[in-house]
Structure 1
Amino acid sequence: MVKHIILWKLNDELSTEQKKAVKTDIKKNLEALVGVVPGLTKMNIRTEFLASSSADIMMDSELESNEALKGYQTHPSHVHVADTYVRPNVSVRLSMDYEI
């Protein structure tokens, strides 16, 4: 199993209401990839955080293998979600992948 963790910081120019809508869209569309992308077994998007946090969104996902992670990254459904809901709205992206 592979853990795929992402932290995102939303664009500063987004209003509070826009950030709320973006978070909702990202959460809904990424979590919907389970059962669509082969090897993606879990997807948990966190948008609520303590004031001490430096990120706006966390993605905590699990995949069956490193090969499944590679497939996820290029899967058309994932690319669509990333290009439509994530990339246009984030200024910072940090990731960590590890085997469990």
Structure 2
Amino acid sequence: MIKHIVMWKLKDEAEGADKATNAREMKRRLDACAALVPGQLAFEVMLAQPGLEASYDVVLYSEFADRAALQAYAGHPVHQAVVPFIGAVRAERQCMDYEV
């Protein structure tokens, strides 16, 4: 199994909206990527929550049966459609994929 975790810090303003608005829109768009391909086992998008420690604004936690499933997800047209928006609103990105 491959775990795929991505965290983003967002710009204070981008695409004509503030950080909070863009975070909600990013979550909405990423949530549409749940269950896109066979072998996509888990998919959770969360926003930083007031009162809880967070050094990033948005996090994606996902699990895939194998590398082929992760690659199929990454190349899927629905996922690819989200990429330009994320690129426009993010200030920083961290990612880690690991096999368990």
| Structures share fold, TM-score greater than 0.5 | yes
Quote the offset at 1:54 in angstroms: 2.1
Change (3 A) 1:4 1:48: same
Q: Residues of 1 paired with 2:73 and 2:65: CA distance?
A: 11
Quote the offset at 1:41 in angstroms: 2.2
Total equivalences in the alignment: 97
The answer (yes or no) to whether the contact 2:39–2:64 under 8 Å persists in 1 is yes
The answer (yes or no) to whether the contact 1:7–1:58 under 8 Å persists in 2 is yes
Change (3 A) 1:71 1:53: same
Match of 2:94 in 1: 94
Matching of residues 76-87 of structure 1 within 5 Å:
76-84=77-85, 86-87=86-87
Higher helix share: 1
Match of 1:68 in 2: 69
Local SS of the residue matching 1:6: strand
Matching of residues 27-42 of structure 1 within 5 Å:
27-42=27-42
Match of 1:26 in 2: 26
Quote the offset at 1:78 in angstroms: 0.4
Quote the offset at 1:83 in angstroms: 1.6
Matching of residues 46-57 of structure 1 within 5 Å:
46-49=46-49, 52-57=53-58
- CA RMSD of the aligned region, Å? 1.9
Change (3 A) 1:20 1:13: closer
Unaligned regions of 5+ residues in structure 1, if any?
none
Q: What amino acid is aligned across from residue 80 of structure 1 in structure 2?
A: A
Runs of 4+ in 1 over 3 A off after TM superposition: 49-52
- Matched-pair identity in %: 33
Unaligned regions of 5+ residues in structure 2, if any?
none
- Name the TM-score, length of structure 2 as normaliser: 0.81
